[in-house]
Amino acid sequence: MIGPRFPDLISRLPATVPFVGPEEHERAAGIRFRARLGANENVFGPSPRALEALHSADAEIWKYADPSHFDLKAELSARLGCTPGNIVFGEGIDGCLGYLVRLLVEPGDAVVTSDGAYPTFSYHVNAYGGALHKVPYRDDAEDIAALFAKAAEVDAKIVYLANPDNPMGSWYASADIEAALDTLPDGTVLALDEAYIEFAPEGTAPNIDPEDPRVIRFRTFSKAYGMAGARVGYAVGAQPLIGAFDKVRNHFAMNRAAQAGVLAALRDDAWLAEIRDRVGAARSRIVEIAAENGLSCLPSATNFVAVDCGHDGDFARAVLKALVARGVFVRMPFVAPQDRCLRISAGTGAELDILAEELPKALAEASEPAT
């Protein structure tokens, strides 16, 4: 009996995924997390208006959603100063990144990213046979000059940059990115991931013409808008590139309720402002907890904080393991020297109380000499 015949490319790919969800960790450990501080979710939830719209849409869930996303594009384009033709939606930024790679990358095509940057982008490039070229972080931040220089060296189709950055929380001012575009090589598209832009200081988002063919920007409703489970992201770029997404995207990827919910969320500016305040307070609390344990934190323009454990990656992994065993879910960067840190998401007051209780125990356990 003959089974499926995988292409050689697929057969060679490792059987791994970019992230293992907290639920899988819980099942493996036989525990329930007391503090869910590792997925960079917005624990404060979506706008009450969004929840109302989601519930109202349930009665018509038998209908397919509008595959053109007409109303949502109209609202977004008015806010972003572009046309609806500059916007495309997908299954979170993850889905949009996958479509971009499918559009532009053939097997062997060069693509540039940072070593240790958001792994889902690299996951898509590998799946389509692209040749990944990685440059190291510099001072715990993605190195724009090195990224663009590498792109010129290898004739890259795409160069990926997150601003603000995941997993370190660092960011560049808009002027830095605008100036760097002058050095982006011809034929290379900058994939600018702005998943955390709503948490960043004023002046972080660069002023880029939506019709600039060199740049495509990615944003999401998973973070500040508190709708990670809805899986709604979008890309903004020049109309010829955005129009090409219709050749490859899943036109019915966004369900009807999600479409209604994110439209209501987008219109609730007061709730977004409140979320920014709550996240800012939670970040400050994480910094305080770290300081109480002799640890320092990196500045953050996101809804998480990178906590420097003060040693190498092995020590940080030991701390993470001890926290998970105590019901505290956190994550950490994958690549040295950034892997000396833990990445801790903004949590509720109760969750951060648990972190404050368990972190000193986890640090003590990690510091115990091996027997």
Mean pLDDT, residues 300-311: 98
Under DSSP, is residue 135 helix (H, G, I), strand (E, B) or coil? Answer: strand
| Sign for the pseudo-dihedral over CA of 119, 120, 123, 124 | negative
| Contact between 355 and 37 (Cβ < 8 Å) | yes
For the chain, where are the alpha helices, taking DSSP H only? 8-12, 22-29, 48-57, 70-80, 92-104, 119-127, 144-154, 174-180, 239-244, 256-266, 269-292, 313-325, 349-367
**Tens digits of residue pLDDT in 191-210:** 999 999 999 999 999 999 99
- Of the listed ranges 21-30, 69-78, 251-260, the least confidently predicted one is 21-30
Sign of the torsion angle spanned by Cα atoms 223, 225, 230, 234: negative
Q: Shortest CA distance to 290 belongs to which of 337, 342, 328, 336? A: 342
Q: What is the mean pLDDT of residues 280-299?
A: 98
Name the average pLDDT for the chain. Answer: 96
Average pLDDT over residues 345-358: 98
Residue 370 pLDDT grade (very low, low, confident, very high; cuts 50, 70, 90): low
pLDDT in tens, 218-254: 999 999 999 999 999 999 999 999 999 999 999 999 9
Amino acid at residue number 270: A
Buried b (16+ CB within 10 A) or exposed e, 65-91: beeebeebbebbbeeeebebebbbbbb
Residue 255 pLDDT > 80: yes
Tell me what percent of the residues of the chain surpass a pLDDT of 70. Answer: 99
Would you state the CATH architecture of domain 19-45+270-367? Answer: Alpha-Beta Complex (3.90)
pLDDT category of residue 1 using cuts at 50, 70 and 90: confident
The letter for the amino acid at 312 is D
Q: What's the rounded Cα separation, in Å, for the pair 343 and 41? A: 12
DSSP track, 19-59: ---HHHHHHHHT---SEE-SS---TT-S-HHHHHHHHHHGG
Per DSSP, the three-state class of 352 is helix
Q: Is the pLDDT of residue 114 over 70?
A: yes
Q: Provide mean pLDDT across the span 331-337.
A: 96
DSSP track, 212-251:
-TTEEEEEESSSTT--GGG--EEEEE-HHHHHHGGGTS-T
Give the dihedral sign, CA 62/68/73/74.
negative
Q: What is the pLDDT of residue 322?
A: 96
Rounded to the nearest angstrom, the gap between the alpha carbon of residue 115 and the centroid of all alpha carbons in its chain is 15
Whether the pLDDT of residue 350 is over 80: the answer is yes
Report, as an integer, the average pLDDT of 324-347. 97
* Mean of pLDDT values over 293-321: 97
- When mean pLDDT is compared across 3-17, 50-64, 215-229, 298-312, the lowest value belongs to 3-17
3-state DSSP assignment of residue 264: helix
pLDDT at 29: 83
What is the chain's length? 371
Out of 3.40.50.20, 3.40.50.1980, 3.40.640.10, 3.40.920.10, which CATH number does the structure's domain 48-267 have? Answer: 3.40.640.10
How far apart, in Å, are the Cα atoms of 370 and each of 59, 365, 366? Answer: 59, 10, 9
- 3-state secondary structure at position 261: helix
Q: Which pLDDT belongs to residue 371?
A: 57
Tell me the pLDDT tens digit for each residue of 115-146: 999 999 999 999 999 999 999 999 999 999 99
Domain boundaries, the chain: 19-45+270-367, 48-267
pLDDT tens profile 38-66: 999 999 999 999 999 999 999 999 999 99
